[in-house]
Structures are given as structure tokens and as C-alpha cells.
Amino acid sequence: MRALTPKGAATRQRIVEGAAKLIRDHGPANVGLDDIRAATTTSKSQLFHYFPDGKADMLLAVAAHEAELVLAEQEPYLSDLTSWSQWEAWRDRVIARYAAQRRRCPLSALTAQLGLADPAVEGIITGMYTRWHRHVADGVRAVRPDADAERVATQIIGAIAGGATMLVATDDIRYLEIGLTDAIESLRNA
């Protein structure tokens, strides 16, 4: 995997994105290598050429890709929570995003499938949450310099995680709406 020509890199990318979409649509448990092969017009040997350790290796790349997306889709707001209007725009974006995907949460599905035992998976997930947390904490410091930014960020990230979990479990978006809205509101009235 050290020498990767542009063509090879493109193929690898095509596999990751194709697999990600497939998994998003059908769930990781219902997607086999043959499905991915068919959806990405590749051959078995290509799959194992670019992911020598097999399926787990591939799912790992998919997970990293999805984790990246989660944060990317919150931009440009997440990196610039410097005013209340930015906070509100961010909140709306987050809620809209989850409302759109409904129960299909790629990350929770993937981590459940891969298992947190794998340190590589764990690294991806904790890394994502760390970055997310830091962005939010930075935002808190920007609008409420006297607040305990770490604690508030923990509360807010927790509210989102809970909202997402309840959305998956019960198909009810209100947990996210209420949790996130109230958390921001209580910060505003601090």
C-alpha cells in the first residue's frame, strides 16, 4: 500500500465511498463484499489489494470517512461559534441533518458492527469526539468567557449524542431538538 498511483488512489476512494453509501442505506450487517464489488464495479482482488486485512480494514476506512463527514457537515458553523446567530445556525444545521437521515446513523451502526475493542476504531471515534468537543468548547469561550467551557461542551455534546441515540431508537427527533435547544438556551441565560 506504500506505492499508490493516482489511478489506484481513485479506485480506493471509489470503494470507500461506494461502501459507505451502501452501508448507510442497508446497514453494515446487510452489506457483503460482493455487494460492494458490484456497486463499485471492482473485482474481489481489488478489494483485497487496497485493503489487505480484509473487510475489517475496509470498514475501518469507511468509519474514518464517515467520522470526517459528521464534522464536515457542520461547517462552516462549527469552527466559528463566535456569535449567538452562529450558534443558532449551527444548531439548526445539526437538527436538520439528523432529521434528514432519520434512523440511519452511519457512525453508531458502524461502531456497533466493528466493536469498540479494536483500538483503531476507538481512535477514530474518540478522535472525532475530541475535535467536536474542542470546537464547541471554543465556541463557549467565545460567547461566554466566564463559563466552564469544558463542562458546557460536555453537556452539549452529550445532548446531541442522546438526541441521536433516541432518534435511532424511537424515530423521534424531539429529544435532539429539546436537548440541544435547552442546552444552548441555558448557556445563553447563564
Partner DNA sequence: CATGGATTGGACTACGCGGTCCAAAATGCC
Partner DNA sequence: GGCATTTTGGACCGCGTAGTCCAATCCATG
Q: Please report, as ranges, the residues that interact with a second copy according to CB under 8 A.
A: 27, 29-30, 103, 108-109, 111-113, 115-116, 125-126, 129, 151, 154-155, 157-166, 168-171, 174-176, 178-179, 182, 186
| Per rule CB under 7 A, count of chain residues that contact DNA | 23
C-alpha cell at 18: 461506494
Listed ranges 49-57, 86-94, 104-112, 159-167: which one lies at the site for DNA (CB under 7 A): 49-57
Does 43 interact with DNA (rule: CB under 7 A)?
yes
Residue 170: burial class (beta carbons within 10 Å; 0-12, 13-18, 19+): exposed
Q: x-or-dash pattern for DNA, window 51-90, by CB under 7 A?
A: ---xxx----------------------------------
Rounded to an integer, what distance in angstroms lies between the CA atom of residue 162 and that of residue 156?
10
Question: Which residues are within 8 A (CB) of 17 and not within 5 positions of it... i.e. 6 or more apart?
Answer: 65
Please report how close the Cβ of residue 115 comes to a second copy at its closest, in angstroms. Answer: 6
What does 16 interact with, of DNA, a second copy, none (CB < 5 to 8 A by kind)?
none
Listed ranges 17-25, 31-39, 65-73, 136-144: which one lies at the site for DNA (CB under 7 A): 31-39
> What residue ranges in 127-173 does DSSP mark as E strands?
none
- Judged by CB under 7 A, the residue of 3, 72, 100, 117 near DNA is 3
CA-CA-CA-CA dihedral for 151, 157, 158, 164, to nearest 10? 170
The residue among 12 and 91 lying less far from a second copy, judged by its C-beta, is: 91
Alpha helix (H) residue ranges in 73-105: 84-101
Does 25 interact with DNA (rule: CB under 7 A)?
no
Q: How far apart, in Å, are the Cα atoms of 19 and each of 35, 44, 72, 91, 127? A: 9, 14, 19, 29, 22
| Separation of CA 125 from chain center | 8
- Residue ranges that bind DNA, judged by CB under 7 A: 2-9, 11, 32-34, 41-46, 48-49, 54-56
